[in-house]
Homo-oligomer: A and B are copies of this chain.
Amino acid sequence: MEIKSGDFVLLLSSDNKTFLIRVKEGKVFGTHFGEVSLQDAIGKRYGEVIHSKLGKPFILLEPTLEDRMMKVRRLTQIVYPKDAALILIKTGIQSGMRVIECGTGSGSLTLALASAVAPTGRIYAYDRREDFLENAKRNILETGLSDLVEFKLREVGEGFDEIEVDAVILDLPSPWEGIPSASRAIRGGGRIASLSPTYNQVERTVECLSEEGFVFLETIEVLVREILVRSGKTRPFERMVSHTGFLTFGRKAIRGDVLDEGSKS
């Protein structure tokens, strides 16, 4: 499987810096280790090496989902891969499912959702800002997942067009504004997830989910700690990202009112 014009590569330099870039005849890309001619990548396979004009090696890596998410053009705070990963596994989103995302922003989570439902599912990506949607569309387009995503310009209060979806993901400043609509859109047993940076938002979100008949409510935060592994002197990194947001999950009951909907304990 050879790299051809139009493909994306993740260039890895010898000091572990990466550049996500599209290969094209005649294209030249400037780095701290000199200019790299993308022409050289054509016909190579992933894992092989090309050299800058200064003779510095760059490995041609295949961009992963995480690479794509971290390198989207950002008009907003993005959803980080660690949080997207837990959202996917806890909501059980998988191939073939139909999912609403409300608050698409720069589209990093949209990428993860589209990848998870491929090749036959569908993501309905809502946002109230046209500029955000245009940017997110471009970000998705480059990954080849566009056919799986339908973008919709809409205020959250106006509701969703879909019904019987498998899951709804809310990334909104006021998630409670989207919960009643989400409840109508999700099928019985379907999942909801909401991301919020503050505990105040979480508290009100959980209250609203409970009122709307969602059950098995759970709120978590995900911390990823990096380890600096060197022979004979291995230790955790000295600094870390200690907060991106809280993740709240629930499941749609059709008659949740008959149960006492406490938090999962």
Contact = CB atoms under 8 A, between A and B. Distances in A.
Interface in A177-233: 187-191, 197-203, 206-207, 215-233
Contacts of A81: 89-90
A47 B85 contact: no
Given A66-B90, A85-B85, A242-B242, A226 B235 contact: no
A183 B181 CA distance: 49
Contact of A200 (B61, B223, B232): B232
A215 B59 CA distance: 9
B239 A239 contact: yes
Contacts of A49: 253-255, 258-259
B238 A48 contact: no
Interface stretch (A24-32, A112-120, A124-132, A149-157): A112-120
Nearest to A67: B92
B47 A188 contact: yes
B234 A243 contact: no
A242 B243 contact: no
* A-side interface mostly: mixed
A218 B199 CA distance: 17
Given A219-B229, A223-B225, A239-B240, A57 B199 contact: no
A57 B262 CA distance: 14
A220 B225 contact: yes
Interface residues of A, number: 99
A146 interface: no
B220 A259 contact: no
A54 interface: no
A169 interface: no
B233 A237 contact: no
A230 B198 CA distance: 10
A76 interface: no
Contacts of A90: 64, 66, 81
A57 B243 contact: no
A112 B89 contact: yes
A227 to B, nearest CB: 4
A96 interface: yes
A141 interface: no
